[in-house]
Every structure is written in C-alpha cells, then in structure tokens.
C-alpha cells in the first residue's frame, strides 16, 4: 500500500529564513554578535553549541562560545549585558536545573535576550502582547522553539492566511504533549492566542487553552479538564510532542486519520508506523529553532541600533 504521508524536514523549513538572514547581513554590511554561555558538560548542550557555531558562520553572524564555571555564570552574563559589541546572549540549559535556571534566564538583559526567555517576553506571550513599545514599532521576541513550531505550522499551511492575522488558527484543534516553561506552555498559549483549541498534556493532567467561544477573548484562558490522552488526541488535527525520553511513544492508533504530527523532543516520540496515519510528519524542529535564534538576534541588533540613534 503506498504511503501518502509527507515528511517535512526542519532543514527545508529553515532554508528560506537562513537565506533571507544571509542576504540581509551581506547587503547591510553588518555583523551581529551572539555570545553563548556553556556552563555544563551536557552532551546535548555541547552539540547544540557546535551547531549554533556552524549555522552562525554560514549566515554571517559572529558567534563566541564562552565556557564558564556555573558559579560564575551570573556575573559573566551581567558583564556581557554591558558589552556594547554583544547583540545577543544565550545560555545552554540546564545549568543548575529548576528555579535557579529560571532566575538566570531573567538575568539576561531584555534587549539581548535572543532566546526570549526573560520574564518580560514570556509574560507578553502569556498575555498576548505582541509589541514591546506603545507605538508598536518593536515586535516582541518570542521563545525560539515555540516560535519554530509556529513557523513550521505556517509553512505546512495549518495557519489559514484567509483569516485575519491573530485569528489564523481558528477552528483548529491541537494537542501539545509537554508543558515545560521553555517550550510546551508558551507554545500552547501562542497557538490558543492565534485562535486554536489547544489541549496541553503533561504528566499531571490535561489543560485546555482557548480564547473562548467564538474566540471573543483577546488572550487565551486556561481550564483544567478531566480528560485523558485517549479523549483529546483523536480530536486533534495537529499533535505536537516534546517528551524527553525514548520510552515515551504516542500510540499511532489514537491519532486522527490525516493528522499533522510534529516532534520537538530529542527522542522520537511517535511510533515507527506514524506515516501510516499522518498526512504530514515533522520528525524534528531543531534547525528551525536555530534559524529563529538568528532571526531574534538580528531583530535585537536593530532595536539596539535604533535606540542608540534616538
């Protein structure tokens, strides 16, 4: 039986963003600088750092990796906040894990926070605030992996361009399996802010994120619901997974025929036969995440220069 599923690779989605970045940087003769702090021995973080370096070199971004002791990290971030030539700062997490990492995320200056993880940017996502200023000239920085998922959904056509900006997911039902503060919760909030009905699944239960009946609310609301994965997944047009263990598998039998399946976990969260049920399968998002990181960097570079000129 022929398989009618299309696999969409992150490299394909990221290509146009990277080409545009490269062109912009060359034509404007600029060299935005990104500093990455590595304060752990985590192989995944080291790999991500190598990958950032390679991608930045290809697009014309100056990338400097600073390996530091985790006890010195806060001080080093503060120093980089004050360095004029540094346009963006990122940290390879986890460092301490838990609340101390959340604290460190807020130590990065808002105007250099390429990952979009400081309090102000995450607050703005949760409250559907799209600009940093009253005159709406400076768009907010969005956390990279949630933003990468949105760009993938746009590329695939899940966002309906006939509808007005801000409502383009109206009518879609999406399940997100992961509710971390870095990816799953902001992602569910962004998708609901854009009009979707979002089931947010984590180990403790399921929450429903929506803008209410007829998407009348200006920002999403959240309800705890008494439902199981078996109830919500079969209703979902899109299922996005991010469970950080190879043991977790989303049963193909639960998925709706023609589902769009996207995995952002470093482990394969869908079963091997996913293509027998999905219309579109995106096995990983990492390359789009790095493209969003660079896009955020260019945006912050421009904001910093605009503010200097004022």
- Annotation says 149 is catalytic: no
**Is 248 a binder of ligand NAD (CB under 6 A)?**
yes
Shortest separation between residue 263's beta carbon and ligand NAD, angstroms: 9
Shortest separation between residue 93's beta carbon and ligand NAD, angstroms: 8
Q: Residues 41 to 60: which contact ligand NAD by CB under 6 A? A: 44
According to CB under 6 A, which one of 196, 243, 282, 300 is a site residue for ligand NAD?
Answer: 243
**Is 242 a binder of ligand NAD (CB under 6 A)?**
yes
Q: HEC profile for the chain?
A: CCCCCEECCHHHHHHHHHHHHHHHHHHHCCCCEEEEEECCCCHHHHHHHHHHHHHHHHHCCEEEEEECCHHHHHHHHHHHHHCCCCCEEEECCCCCCHHHHHHHHCCCCHHHECCCCCHHHHHHHHCCCCECCCCCCCECCCCHHHHHHHHHHHHHCCCCCCCCCCCCCCCCEEEEECCCCCCHHHHHHHHHHCCCEEEEEECCEEEEEECCHHHCCCCCEEEEECCCHHHHHHHCCEEEECCCCCCCCECHHHCCCCEEEEECCCCCCECCCHHHCEEEEECCCHHHHHHHHHHHHHHHHHHHHHHHHC
**Is 283 a binder of ligand NAD (CB under 6 A)?**
no
Catalytic residue (one of 118, 140, 144, 149)? 144
**Is 183 a binder of ligand NAD (CB under 6 A)?**
yes
Residue with Cβ nearer ligand NAD (204 or 310): 204
Shortest separation between residue 292's beta carbon and ligand NAD, angstroms: 9
Shortest separation between residue 14's beta carbon and ligand NAD, angstroms: 11
Per CB under 6 A, residues contacting ligand NAD are 44, 145, 148, 177-180, 182-184, 201-203, 242-244, 248, 264-267, 285-286, 289
């Amino acid at each position: 039986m022929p398989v009618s599923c299309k696999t969409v690779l992150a490299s394909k989605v990221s290509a146009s963003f990277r080409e545009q970045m490269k062109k912009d940087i060359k034509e404007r003769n600029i060299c935005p600088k990104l500093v990455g702090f590595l304060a752990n021995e985590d192989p995944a973080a080291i790999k991500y750092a190598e990958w950032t370096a390679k991608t930045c070199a290809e697009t014309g971004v100056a990338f400097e990796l600073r390996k530091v002791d985790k006890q010195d990290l806060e001080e080093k971030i503060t120093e980089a906040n004050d360095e004029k030539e540094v346009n963006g700062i990122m940290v390879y997490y986890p460092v301490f894990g838990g609340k101390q990492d959340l604290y460190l995320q807020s130590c990065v200056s808002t105007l250099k926070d390429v990952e979009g993880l400081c309090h102000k940017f995450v607050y703005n996502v949760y409250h559907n605030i799209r600009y940093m200023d009253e005159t709406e000239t400076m768009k907010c920085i969005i956390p990279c992996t949630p933003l990468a998922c949105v760009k993938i959904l746009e590329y695939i056509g899940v966002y309906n361009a006939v509808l007005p900006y801000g409502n383009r997911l109206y009518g879609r039902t999406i399940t997100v399996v992961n509710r971390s503060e870095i990816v799953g919760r902001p992602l569910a909030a962004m998708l609901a802010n854009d009009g979707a009905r979002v089931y947010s699944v984590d180990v403790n239960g399921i929450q429903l994120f929506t803008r209410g009946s007829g998407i009348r609310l200006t920002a999403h609301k959240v309800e705890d619901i008494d439902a199981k994965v078996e109830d919500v997944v079969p209703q979902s047009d899109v299922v996005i997974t991010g469970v950080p263990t190879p043991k977790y598998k989303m049963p193909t039998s639960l998925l709706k025929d023609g589902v769009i399946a996207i995995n952002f976990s470093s482990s394969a969260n869908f079963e091997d036969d996913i293509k027998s049920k999905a219309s579109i399968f995106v096995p990983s998002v990492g390359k789009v995440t790095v493209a969003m990181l660079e896009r955020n960097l260019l945006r912050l570079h421009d904001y910093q220069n605009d503010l200097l000129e004022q």
